[in-house]
Amino acid sequence: MVKGESFGIPEPDGELYPFPELIDVIIVPGVAFDKQNNRLGRGKAFYDKLLKTVKSKKVGVCFDFQMIDQVPTGEFDIKMDCVVYDD
């Protein structure tokens, strides 16, 4: 791991994965989700930038308290295909 360019968060060191089109499923964390499969992230669009470039299944994962009635969304936000939580 090396100090990342964004916020100094440690990131894996090495070459980027060369075949993103081969990724079947992406598990996506979030601050909150809603039953319409919208996701509230941390506001920097890191995941949205990746998610708009792949055709992978997008699975949001969260605790039940992170499910809310409605997540505010913008034009660049990417919906999840499903959200998994303990209800």
What distance in Å separates the CA atoms of residue 42 and residue 18, rounded to the nearest whole number?
26
Is there a catalytic annotation at residue 13?
A: no
Catalytic residue among 13, 64, 69, 77: 77
85: nearest Cα among 9, 47, 46, 34? 34
Is 42 one of the annotated active-site residues of the chain? no
Q: Which residue of the set 13, 24, 48, 87 is catalytic?
A: 48
Give 42-71 pLDDT, tens digit per residue: 877 878 888 999 999 999 999 999 999 999
- Map out the domains of the chain with their CATH numbers: 16-84 (3.40.50.10420)
**Residue of 13, 34, 39, 81 with catalytic role:** 39
pLDDT tens track for 10-32: 888 989 889 988 999 999 999 99
How far, in Å, are 37, 66, 79 from residue 34 at the CA level?
6, 8, 10
